[in-house]
Every structure is written in structure tokens, then in C-alpha cells.
Amino acid sequence: MSVYKRPGAATYSYDFRLQNRRFSGDTGKAQKREAEAVERLKRDEARAEVAEGRSLEAPDTWELAASRYWLEVGQHHVNRETTLKSLDWLTRHLGRQTRLADIDDNRVAGLVALRRADRRQVGRSDARDRQRPVSAATVNRTMTEPLRKVLLRARGVWKVKIGEVSWRKHLLKEPRERVREASLGEEAAIGGALERGYDEAVAFGFRDGCRRMEICGLVWSRVDFFGRRYTVIGKGGKARTIPMSQATFDQLFRLRGQHPEFVFTFVAQKTRKELGQVRGQRYPIQLGTLSKLIRRAAARTGVQDFHLHDTRHTAATRVLRKSNLRVVQQLLGHEDIATTTKYAHALADDIRAALDATSPTKSPTSASTDATNPLRDLGKAG
């Protein structure tokens, strides 16, 4: 980020360049984190402004391509802030004027190495401010995949020549996703430690297995009480309609009228002008805040190794025990059932428990074995 304080100034200023144009001004914020949020918004606006002015030109440099991608695709992502950060990182390390035709395997391999060397903070409360390298999944999702999407759009849609890149060689191998199922006690403990409003969202996640973007983005216009179903917008902007259980129907019906648009909301505990929040009014729950609060709730209640996405794992495992993999596939919105098979452990556990339940508690005695053995007399006759 490029926010800074001018000598004698009480608030931070921003100053950045985009496509040989300079954008600068006062954020009006005295706190650095708030100033950085303003700067991100200014970058959003700058990208859209620049890309709109050049929208009919075929972009041949990275900066032009990133700007146009943001205008056409990135700014419409549910997690648009993450997309913006990825494009900013790539712009810093690729160079604004780098030609798309020059981005080849050698260049991509270097970017992967740079991203793997990054550090991310773990636990702000830790006085030692411990850090650790980013994971392979983070490298793939925040660098390699965004770069790939921009370049493939440049070649396929904008008809621009790009370098030769074998993407499979650059995607890092990710460890198999763990499946963490919460017990009923852990679920109750976490829910009881969450702020009001956020507890409703997490209870919904435990029951219906929706992703966090689907939970935060659920709006009343997609809730059909008469048809007893609702529609969420998941990865890639794909819609998925899910039937309501009685518990889900009761919960959503109870939440009606709290907010005109969003289903899951919270009550602001204090007025925060920088966020446009007024004490006592309801606002939609936020992705980042939801993840942060569930981590804090797990820590306070002693629940080990639990994250927001584990509510989805919990719901999937519970549903699988009452149905089959196809049902879970439809619930979670997996295109390929192979993705759903990671939950098959639940079936294996249940089969093992069933076999244990049907096994005899005592080994047959030798006498009873002889009495019922049809080969006994044959052995004597021999």
C-alpha cells in the first residue's frame, strides 16, 4: 500500500500510478488501516476509469490487461477485494509495461518462487508477531490462477498474443483438504460465544453447508417461502437452489423484516463513520469478520483446530450419514462427484460401526463349533 502522512498532517494521503497516470489525494483517515481501505477503493475507481477509457483497445501490456480484466470480470467477484490484491501483487512484480507476449514459463516460475517466499502474519495477538510462509493453496489461488485467468482471457476474448505457458507445471501440489466434523457440543459452544447475528449465520452454515460467500450474500429476493427453497450464488457466480428443511424454514422465517435486502445481519454496537455504520442499526455480516469471529469463539471455548469452512464439512458429513454421495454433491454444489468423495470417510466409519454391532460378543466354544461343523464326521471317517 502507498499511504503515507505528509509532514505535520493528521491524516494519511495516497499516491499511486496506473497506466502512466498519477492518482493522489487525502484519505481523510488518521488510522493507517482505514486509510488503506480508502486507497483500495480509489484503486478500484482508477482501474475502472482507466479500463473504460481503453476498453476497445486490445491490451498488449500487463497493466492494460489487468485494468481491463478488473473492469470486465474482477470488480464483479464476490471476493473482489481479494482479486484486487492479487492483481496489485502481480502488477508490482511483473511490471506495468511487461508485454503479455513476454510472460512465459520462465517468468511464471519466477513469480511462483517470489510468492512462495512471502510471509503472512499468524495471530495478531501473538506478541512475537510470528510469521510463516504462505501455503501452496494460497500461491495457487492468489497468484497463479489470477495470472492464468487474465492471460487466457487476453488470448481467447481480446485476441492478444500471449507467451507460451504450461500452467500444470506451475500449479503447486496442495495437501488433501482435511475434513473436520464438529461435535454437537462444539457446535453449541461456538454458537454461544458468537456475537448476535453472526451466531445465526454460523448455525445456518452448520446445518446447510453453504460457503461463507453464499451465507453473507444470501438476500431475501432469493428466498422462496412458498416453494420452501432458497438460491445462493457460489463460486464463479453460479447459482444453486437448495430445498429448505423445517429448521431452515423456521430460522429464515424468524429473521424476516430485520433487513430489507440481506438475510444475515448484525446490529452495530457503536457508530463508525468511516464504515458508514450507525449504532443500533442492522448491517450485512462481512466475510472477513465472520471468519475472524468464529476463530475467536473457538479459541475462547477451547474448540481445537476449527475454522469457518469446517461448518460446511460438518453439514456434509451429517447429511451423508442420512443419504448418499449424490445428495451431498447436490447440496454442496460440486460439479464433479470426485470432489465429494472426501466425505466418504463418514460411510466407512458407519459401516465399521455397523459391522462391530453385528459381530458376536463371544467367540464360539470348541464344543459348539464341533457340534455344528458338518465336516466333523467326515474327518473321523477318514
Bridge partners of residue 121, in order along the sequence? 131
115, 211, 212, 313: the catalytic one is: 211
Same domain, 248 and 157: no
366 within domain boundaries:
no
- pLDDT tens-place string over residues 194-212: 988 899 999 999 999 999 9
313 a catalytic residue: no
259 a catalytic residue: no
176 within domain boundaries:
no
Q: Residues 6 or more apart from 341 whose CB is under 8 A from it?
A: 325
Same domain, 147 and 84: yes
The CATH code of the domain that includes 233 is: 1.10.443.10
211 a catalytic residue: yes
Contacts 24+ apart (CB under 8 A), 153-162: 153/69, 153/72, 153/73, 154/59, 154/65, 154/100, 158/58, 158/59, 158/65, 158/68, 159/58, 160/58, 160/59, 160/60, 160/65, 160/100, 161/60, 161/100, 161/101, 162/100, 162/101, 162/103
Q: How far apart are CA 29 and CA 210, in angstroms?
A: 36
Cell of 164: 507460451
* Selection from 343, 288, 328 nearest residue 37 by Cα: 288
For residue 40, the one-letter residue type is R
Same domain, 193 and 237: yes
Question: CA angle at residue 288 from 77 to 271, to 5 degrees?
Answer: 110
Which single residue is written with the C-alpha cell 466409519? Answer: 349
Q: Which domain holds residue 76?
A: 4-169
* Selection from 48, 49, 42 nearest residue 27 by Cα: 42
Same domain, 163 and 188: no
Same domain, 144 and 229: no
pTM of the complete model? 0.57
Q: Check if the beta carbon of residue 5 is closer than 8 Å to that of residue 13.
A: yes
235, 272, 279, 326: the catalytic one is: 235
Give, as one character, the DSSP assignment of residue 101.
G
Which ranges constitute the DSSP H helices of the chain?
Answer: 32-53, 62-72, 80-94, 105-116, 136-139, 145-156, 184-193, 198-208, 212-216, 246-255, 287-301, 310-322, 325-332, 337-340, 345-358, 366-371, 376-381
309 a catalytic residue: yes
| Domain final residue, candidates 279, 310, 341 | 310
Decide if pLDDT at 1 tops 50. no
Q: How many domains does the chain have?
A: 2
351 within domain boundaries:
no
80, 155, 292, 334: the catalytic one is: 334
Cell of 303: 474448540
Mean pLDDT of the chain: 83
> How are the residues of the chain apportioned to helix, strand and coil, as percentages rounded to the nearest 5?
55, 10, 35
User: Binning pLDDT at 50, 70 and 90, where does residue 321 land?
Assistant: confident
- pLDDT tens-place string over residues 221-251: 999 999 999 999 987 778 999 999 999 999 9
Higher pLDDT, 53 or 50: 50
379 within domain boundaries:
no
4 a catalytic residue: no
Decide if pLDDT at 120 tops 80. no
29, 153, 312, 313: the catalytic one is: 312
pLDDT attached to residue 227 = 95
Same domain, 201 and 146: no
User: Binning pLDDT at 50, 70 and 90, where does residue 363 land?
Assistant: low
